[in-house]
Amino acid sequence: MSNVASSLDTFPKLARANAGRWSRHVAIREKDLGIWQSYTWAQYFERSRRIALGLASLGFARGDKTAIVGDNRPELYWAALATQALGGVPVPLYQDSIEKELSYIVEHAEARFAVAEDQEQVDKLLHVRPQCSRLEFIVYDDTRGMRAYSEPGLLSLAELEERGEKFALGHPGYFDDAVARGGAEDTAVICYTSGTTGTPKGAMLSYRNLIEMARIATEREGLRPSDEALAYLPMAWVGDHMLSYAQAIVAGFAINCPESAATVLNDLKEIGPTYFFAPPRIWENLLTNVMIRIEDAAWPKRRLTHFFLGLAQDLERCRLNGQPPPLLPRLLAPLGRLLVCGPLRDNLGLRRIRIAYTAGEALGPEIFVFFRALGINVKQLYGMTEASVFVAVQKDGDVRLDTVGTPMPQVEIKISQSGEVLFRSPGVFQGYFKNPEATRQTVEDGWIHSGDAGFMDHAGHLKIIDRAKDLGRLADGTMFAPKYLENKLKFSPYVKEAVALGAGRPYVTALINIDLGSVGNWAERRGIAYTSYTDLSQKPEVYDLIQQEVVRVNRSLAVEDEVLRGAQIRKFLILHKELDPDDEEITRTRKVRRGFVAQKYAPLIEALYGDRDRVAVEAQVTYEDGRTGTIRADVVIRVVVRAAAAGEASL
């Protein structure tokens, strides 16, 4: 049943209602000058109103776009709401975008206005302004360093709000009229997807899309106004837009903006959110930090911790597989919670979590079990920008290791002939902005082609195998699912990124990025000195370490999967530099751009399929300030023994 038929069918209207019924309830917090500053719903709405009036005074017209770029800040969320109140569309951008990306999106979106967090973002915008024909006004929030700037159309948020006040005097009722004219089918936001292939596409999501899905998810997952969430994921990512903006406004819970990217884990501890959303790399990071610190503890504590962690994980595995847990572990579990699991959870800042999601990529089963064993309700979520996030989510009490969950209410899922996952829901987007061709390719009769290959299992859970177009075959016809292999490799704490290759080739090979933090730590413990990432990556001891991981993956393939057994990794090499979004090798949400990587590292790949055991290589890198440089290395190639399945002789 559509609740959007009610009069609160846009975010400005919902926010106004919140300001009325929850006026003194905290809506958003920001850590400023070391102290958490709170803003109530009344203040949230009022500031947005002032910003909207300011924009109106500059001539903001219905349908205008505002580019929003910066870290998560209340002012930027208010700017989004202000834009929507005037019938415009906010276009959030990744704060670490390089100028090329920025100019493409700002120009493509035809943005007339931009709201930037600070001097860094303003500088980038000013540089790309010549290429952005329609960009007229740049508003900035943080005035630090901005004194000497005198460019036309550049003004501070404070100045904007002042202009807004004067405008309001001359145009009473302007704001309320503008809000009243908004409707459910208007475009609420354009989220540019970073695109693993080609240029970014702007997915247009309507108010109906976002509000419906937010309501559905809120009801199904039981979110309440008393919940607390941490707004730390990029505002440009639809996940943050749904969680920190759409759901917060719909459900009324408070969001908290960390002080800076460097302080996120610390702020997580201070806030203790009840609702948490993190991509796998954050979970991996948290786990790595914990394990490193456990290794540093005195041996009695270490023994105790490992014992109770092991116990808790065994219990959790039983629970996930639906088996009754054995008696002794069950009796000891409360002691484990008291001594180890509880304090660890508290230390991570995850003590109060009622609902936590992992989404975007597959999370390693060991990591998944680890956090659940600690008592953190982590669940898989499957979704995409074009669906307004939610497609399938594991329900409380129905969590399984290797699935991505059951379909959300009002989401229909079907599997096409070729094994591709298709879905239909109220959250299906309006289309790609100015790109009807891409829209046609993605949506057919209201069904979205997800591009993922998967199937529904007997329990009604969705299982994803790989990206449909990446699913390939080796030269001899053996099925090869690169993402599946890469995920298995990445389950190791020492592997940060992996690219599996083999389509049309005689065997599977892998390019691997080591994780500098964990491998560096490992090397230091063994007295292996290293000078840089490149140096560490080529150490023979590190190669041995990674070889063990590759052997582990091969063994698990041999044992688990009939179909994929033939796709074991024959050779691998460790890349001398990390794959980086700035070098366009991976997207900002860390999805590998296969075509680009295959092209850029062609000499390495050729060597992998040849018979050399090392290859000299040079790579272009882009430093953070935009300069380019070259890294040279002599990369080693290792051959891995194929693991035998039960009853087979090994090769």
Footprint of other proteins on this chain (CB under 8 A)? 33-35, 144-145, 147-148, 259-260, 262-263, 266, 624
Name the amino acid, one letter, at 617.
V
What is the chain's Cα-based Rg?
26
Nearer to other proteins, 123 or 366 (CB): 123
Question: Bridge-partner residues for 616, per DSSP?
Answer: 634
Report the distance separating Cα 184 and Cα 84, nearest Å. 12
With a CB cutoff of 8 Å and minimum separation 6, the contacts of 35 are: none
CB of 270 to other proteins, least distance (A): 11
Which helix (H) or strand (E) segment is 149 a member of? none
Nearer to other proteins, 35 or 529 (CB): 35
CB of 625 to other proteins, least distance (A): 8
Angle at 297 (CA atoms; ends 293, 298), nearest 5 degrees: 170
CB of 50 to other proteins, least distance (A): 24
With a CB cutoff of 8 Å and minimum separation 6, the contacts of 21 are: none
Nearer to other proteins, 263 or 599 (CB): 263
Contact indicator for 359, 383 with CB cutoff of 8 Å: yes
Strand ranges (E), 129-227: 137-140, 154-156, 187-193, 201-206
CB of 148 to other proteins, least distance (A): 7
Where b means 16+ CB within 10 Å and e means fewer, 163-192 reads: bbeebbeeeeebbeebbeebebebbbbbbb
Nearer to other proteins, 23 or 143 (CB): 143
CB of 144 to other proteins, least distance (A): 7
Nearer to other proteins, 90 or 258 (CB): 258
Largest CA distance in the chain: 86
CB of 263 to other proteins, least distance (A): 5
Nearer to other proteins, 263 or 441 (CB): 263
Report the distance separating Cα 73 and Cα 181, nearest Å. 27
CB of 128 to other proteins, least distance (A): 21
Nearer to other proteins, 263 or 620 (CB): 263
Angle at 110 (CA atoms; ends 109, 114), nearest 5 degrees: 90
3-state secondary structure 53-113: HHHHHCCCCCCCEEEEECCCCHHHHHHHHHHHHCCCEEEEECCCCCHHHHHHHHHHCCCCE
Nearer to other proteins, 103 or 121 (CB): 121
Nearer to other proteins, 118 or 420 (CB): 118
Report the distance separating Cα 307 and Cα 181, nearest Å. 62
CB of 32 to other proteins, least distance (A): 8
Nearer to other proteins, 36 or 307 (CB): 36
Question: Bridge-partner residues for 621, per DSSP?
Answer: 629
Q: Are strands 228-230 and 254-257 parallel, antiparallel or unpaired?
A: parallel
DSSP 326: P
CB of 623 to other proteins, least distance (A): 9
CB of 34 to other proteins, least distance (A): 5
Nearer to other proteins, 259 or 420 (CB): 259
CB of 258 to other proteins, least distance (A): 10
Closest CA to 38 of 48, 46, 47, 28: 28
Nearer to other proteins, 631 or 645 (CB): 631
Nearer to other proteins, 144 or 526 (CB): 144
Nearer to other proteins, 541 or 580 (CB): 580
Instruction: Give, in order, the Cα–Cα distances in Å from 163 to each of 48, 67, 85, 160, 515.
Output: 14, 20, 17, 5, 50
CB of 259 to other proteins, least distance (A): 5
List the structure tokens of 150.
């005198």
CB of 379 to other proteins, least distance (A): 30
CB of 601 to other proteins, least distance (A): 26
Contact indicator for 175, 52 with CB cutoff of 8 Å: yes
| Dihedral sign for Cα atoms in the order 430, 436, 439, 444 | positive
Report the distance separating Cα 53 and Cα 60, nearest Å. 9
What is the strand order of the sheet 154-156 is part of? 89-93, 65-69, 113-116, 137-140, 154-156
